Amino acid sequence: MRPEILFQLFSPVSKLKGIGPRLTALIEKLAGPNIIDLAWHLPTGLVIRHQISELTPEFVDRNVVVALHIDHHLPSRNRRAPYKIQCEVGVQSLTLTFFNGRENYLRQQLPEGSDRLVSGKLEEYGGTYQITHPDYITTREMAADIPLSEQVYPLTAGLTNQTFIKAARQFLPMLPDLPEWQDASLLSREGWTGWRESLLAAHAPTEEADFSRDAPARARLAYDELLANQLALELIRRSMKRKPGRSLIGNGKIREKILRALPFSLTGAQNSALSEIEADMAGAHRMLRLLQGDVGSGKTVVALLAMATAVEAGAQATIMAPTEILAHQHFNAIEPLATEAGLSCLLITGRLKGKKRTETLEALASGAVDLVVGTHALFQEDVKFHDLGLAIIDEQHRFGVHQRLALSAKGRDGKGGVDVLVMTATPIPRTLALTAYGDMDVSIIAEKPPGRKPVDTRAIDLERLDAVADGLGRKLAAGERIYWVCPLVEESQVLDVAAAEERFAHLKTLYGDQVGLIHGRLKAEEKDATMRRFMSGEISILVATTVIEVGVDVPEATVMIIEHAERFGLAQLHQLRGRVGRGGLEGTCLLLYAPPLGETQKARLAILRETEDGFRIAEEDLRLRGAGEILGTRQSGLPEFRIADLHDHSRLLAIARDDARLVLEKDEKLGSARGKALKTLLYLFERDSAIRYLSG
């Protein structure tokens, strides 16, 4: 239950005076539904107003406060013309201009013949000075009403800065004095004040430096947020580890057979990842490990060997993929090796139906099956294992945190928890891994199998698209295969599909039946069928939207063409490029772009040409774009940060991680004074669900 001291902060913004239904809807979209969301909506600018008594060119385009005498009103003749009011400043003239101005209101505020004090941005228009929509109108006696400096909030159409300022005037005095949850020595070392004081200061900047992410008030609030995140993850992690684990120790016999059947030997990176995994499996605690490895780094075989160890130890193992195609691909890669080593291996997807399904589930429940490859279908209630020991989840970012917990619940009562290994091909910058997967241990395969040639990556003007299309014939003649990826069209799947269909028709006129099409609106079966035809070589050019992004392995594919590459994220481009040049043949990646490119877009394409190091690319991506976009916040279960910035505050994140671990080591029930205050912090940043994991 949320502590009472936070009730007011979590009441709806409509409780504030002057915020009716229209503004509520706008604020909800921009900041969030509650007063606390307004509190986190920090200003990003500052207006400085100059008091002037004479109009001079040097003040044009600046904010001024000026006393004026109202001469006469010039109501607008038609709806589009502005309402003007002619005024005098000493001997000079100034026009006040209002678009859609209401006459009654303006005559009441600015009566002819009276004196007023107004503020606003001074402009020069048609040879005269003017102020459009003054932000304050008052009398000389009430000059103090116009602040000489004022914070500016991030806005959206329909919301004015004054709305936020008025709201802030109401809720800032309401901020409760919360018990301090930060360590006193950290506060003094960093020069930070308390939460309330910091929040007040963050809303009352007086100079540019106050907006910097290092400004003490902002840094303190960012640290609060990061600590809440790390504490929540650490609570989950501790609770998982506290559950009795199970020691899975193999005798190496099955592994040996698989290794002998492989046409290659493992790389050093694969071997060390495997030892880390096996040490976890052997340990008495539950494994929760993330295996990161760039596309093509060889995660599948590591997964298979870990599963073999589980089977040697007498348990079953499963690997789950995010799509049907990938599940099939894993099955095709794993099944022959497994069979060779004497293991029985089955596939479970949503397509498995009727008698076949019943038989499969029976074999699974009786223990006749050792390994299961599957999709989400594995989550179904009636899928029961005889004795699941190891669950591997591939391409994690398509699954949420809750799903990885759900799968680990498929273990057998009394046997202890299922060991969980999550594999991702999205190289995640260290900082992101900490916030999204802080509850897991991490292994990294940084080295690629030997013999891979770098992919020849080129940026090409879209104008040369026809020449590119014409040139594909040579590759086809050599038996090579080509991906042609069409862009996201403003997040609209309908338009995406239209673009892909158009390109498909175009290439078909050139290459006939050798061209296939795959996009997100096709049924899973249709996608699978087309993908299989591409794998088998029945078709050689695959036109696609980004559905091919994840994991698909076609060794003969050598060319990746990406239309409107400037619209894709860096990590996404890297993933796409990773689809080619896997079979020993040299790969080519053509990034077709529409000029002119912005600075960021140029930088993106340049990095891609420069390196194939997924981690470097991911770091750059984080720098250029920000965290949410990289993994797609919604899909990944990645937390959204209100104040903290994962790039700028990475130093604070590392401190928060250590802090969270230390706190829970000393006070695992959060029962001390600081512990109780930290619970309030978790509620404040809406990490309520983590509180369930508090022990006892």
Q: Does 553 bind ligand ADP (CB under 6 A)?
A: yes
Q: Specify the residue, 245 or 551, whose C-beta has the smaller distance to Mg ion.
A: 551
- The residue among 429 and 551 lying less far from Mg ion, judged by its C-beta, is 551
Mind giving me the DSSP string for 440-488? SEEEEE-SPPTTPPPPEEEEEEGGGHHHHHHTHHHHHHTT-EEEEEPPP
H helix or E strand, kind and range, residue 103: helix 103-109
Residue 98 corresponds to which amino acid?
F
Handedness of CA 686, 690, 692, 696 (dihedral sign): negative
Least distance (Å) between residue 395 CB and ligand ADP: 9
Segment contacting ligand ADP (CB under 6 A): 151-159, 292-300, 481-489, 522-530? Answer: 292-300
Q: How far is the CB of 450 from ligand ADP (least distance, A)?
A: 6
266's contact among ligand ADP, Mg ion, none, with CB below 5 to 8 A by partner kind, is ligand ADP
Q: Is 247 helix (H, G, I), strand (E, B) or coil?
A: coil
Q: Does 301 bind ligand ADP (CB under 6 A)?
A: yes
CA angle 691, 693, 694 (to 5 degrees): 70
- Residue, CB closest to Mg ion: 551
Report the residue from 7, 105, 125, 264 that binds ligand ADP according to the rule CB under 6 A.
Answer: 264
Q: Does 300 bind ligand ADP (CB under 6 A)?
A: yes
Please identify which residue in 245, 296, 429, 639 interacts with ligand ADP, judged by CB under 6 A.
296
Q: Does 66 bind ligand ADP (CB under 6 A)?
A: no
Secondary structure of 534-574 in HEC code, one letter for each residue: HHHCCCCEEEECHHHCCCCCCCCEEEEEECCHHHCCHHHHH
Give the C-alpha separation, 138 to 119, whole Å: 9
Check residue 320 for interaction with ligand ADP (CB under 6 A): no
Select from 43, 101, 120, 293 the one that contacts ligand ADP (CB under 6 A). 293
Asked if 336 interacts with ligand ADP (CB under 6 A), we say: no
Considering the rule CB under 6 A, would residue 488 count as an interface residue with ligand ADP?
Answer: no
Of the pair 297, 457, the CB lying nearest ligand ADP is at 297
Please choose, out of 73-81, 297-305, 315-323, 401-409, the segment that lies near ligand ADP by the rule CB under 6 A: 297-305
Which of 154, 449, 628, 675 is the binder for ligand ADP (CB under 6 A)? 449
Any contact of residue 516 with Mg ion (CB under 5 A)? no
587 scored as a contact of ligand ADP (CB under 6 A): no
Looking at the Cβ atoms of 551 and 639, the one nearer to Mg ion is: 551
CB of 550 to ligand ADP, least distance (A): 10
8 Å CB contact between 394 and 330: yes
The token pair at 222 is 């960012």
Nearest CA among 184, 214, 233 for reference residue 643: 214
Q: Which among 196, 149, 161 has a CA at the least distance from the CA of 43?
A: 161
Residue 595, judged by CB atoms within 10 A of its CB (0-12, 13-18, 19+), counts as exposed
Question: Smallest distance, Å, CB 192 to Mg ion?
Answer: 44
Q: Please, which residue, 216 or 449, has the CB nearer to ligand ADP?
A: 449
> Contacts with Mg ion in 537-576 (CB under 5 A)?
551
- Binding residue for ligand ADP, selected from 134, 205, 250, 298, defined by CB under 6 A: 298
Residue 608 interacting entry, from Mg ion, ligand ADP, none, C-beta within 5 to 8 Å by type: none
3-state secondary structure at position 334: helix
Does 292 interact with ligand ADP (rule: CB under 6 A)?
no
φ and ψ at 229, to 5 degrees? -60, -50
For the chain, the 3-state helix, strand and coil shares in percent, each to the nearest 5, are 45, 20, 35
Q: Does residue 549 bind ligand ADP (CB under 6 A)?
A: no
Other beta carbons within 10 angstroms of residue 591's beta carbon come to 23
Residue 264 binds what, of ligand ADP, Mg ion, none (CB under 5 to 8 Å, by partner type)?
ligand ADP
Q: Are 410 and 336 in contact (CB under 8 A)?
A: no
Using alpha carbons only, give the angle 529, 535, 537 rounded to the nearest 5 degrees. 105
Report the residue number whose CB is nearest to ligand ADP: 298
- Residue (86 or 271) nearer to ligand ADP, CB: 271
Question: Which residues touch 188 (CB under 8 Å, ≥6 apart)?
Answer: none
Q: Which is nearer to ligand ADP, 84 or 299 (CB)?
A: 299
Give the closest residue to 165 by CA, choosing from 217, 210, 204: 204
**Binding footprint of Mg ion on the chain (CB under 5 A):** 551
**Binding footprint of ligand ADP on the chain (CB under 6 A):** 264, 266-267, 270, 293, 295-301, 425, 449, 553, 582
